[in-house]
Chains A and B, each alone.
Chain A
Amino acid sequence: DTGVSQDPRHKITKRGQNVTFRCDPISEHNRLYWYRQTLGQGPEFLTYFQNEAQLEKSRLLSDRFSAERPKGSFSTLEIQRTEQGDSAMYLCASSLDPGGNEKLFFGSGTQLSVL
């Protein structure tokens, strides 16, 4: 499978716990994006990387959120001290820049439930 892979698919945690999600992009893609989607809404941008550099972060990304892409390949998104409002689908996407025609390819997402 050469698509975008996300792990885990589902995560249930208690309020106050830390969680970490992983995203493996399409192998030749140098751009990687994180989005958050709540039920019935469109995805909202969180952050993106060009290779290992984090180029932009949304104001949605509070100081409890941190994302890394240490070697320009896979990425992790960590949420510390989770809150019930963090419950959402976390989507990862990747693209090739330049030459990718601006097409983003999405993973299946990680569904987070904070109890």
Chain B
Amino acid sequence: AQTVTQSQPEMSVQEAETVTLSCTYDTSESDYYLFWYKQPPSRQMILVIRQEAYKQQNATENRFSVNFQKAAKSFSLKISDSQLGDAAMYFCALIQGAQKLVFGQGTRLTINP
């Protein structure tokens, strides 16, 4: 069975600084995809970034980047130059075999002005 664990229920960061959110996962497959989703107070789930497990290069999307460590089954999200609009719940998620997406418990990120 696939599992995704986010060990940080809450994180906070000063505006314009950098923050890293942690995620570990477990799967028996070698081919899978990892995601970070953002859920603001509106509760709309928004895709932030995606990583294919077969790619060694870490994905980046503007101020968002990941540190993907396949052997350690770790997938952290780094947000650079944090902005007030980044405040939200962040969920790490895993999908394999074109099946269902499995989510972690989430990390609530607060941005301090």
| A interface, CB within 8 angstroms of B | 31, 33, 37, 40-45, 48, 56, 89, 91, 93, 97-98, 101-109, 111
Contacts and interface: CB of A to CB of B under 8 A. Distances in A.
Given A40-B106, A42-B91, A43-B45, A104 B101 contact: yes
A102 B105 contact: no
B105 A42 contact: yes
Contacts of A93: 45, 101
Q: How large is the interface on B (under 10, 10 to 19, 20 to 34, 35 or more residues)?
A: 20 to 34
B95 interface: yes
A43 B103 contact: yes
A107 B46 CA distance: 9
* Listed residue (B4, B45, B46) with the most chain A CB atoms within 10 angstroms of its CB: B45
Given A43-B103, A45-B101, A108 B47 contact: no
Interface in B1-42: 4, 33, 35, 37, 42
A49 B93 CA distance: 19
Nearest to B37: A106
Contacts of A98: 98
Kindly list the 10 A-B residue pairs having the minimum CB-CB distance in the complex, ordered from nearest. A42-B103, A106-B45, A45-B100, A102-B33, A108-B44, A97-B98, A102-B95, A43-B103, A42-B106, A42-B91
A109 B106 contact: no
A103 B91 CA distance: 14
Interface string B35-74: 1010000111111001000000000000000000000000
A102 B45 contact: no
Contacts of A89: 43
* Listed residue (A89, A109, A111) with the most chain B CB atoms within 10 angstroms of its CB: A109
Contacts of B33: 101-102
A103 B100 contact: no
B43 A109 contact: yes
A48 B100 contact: yes
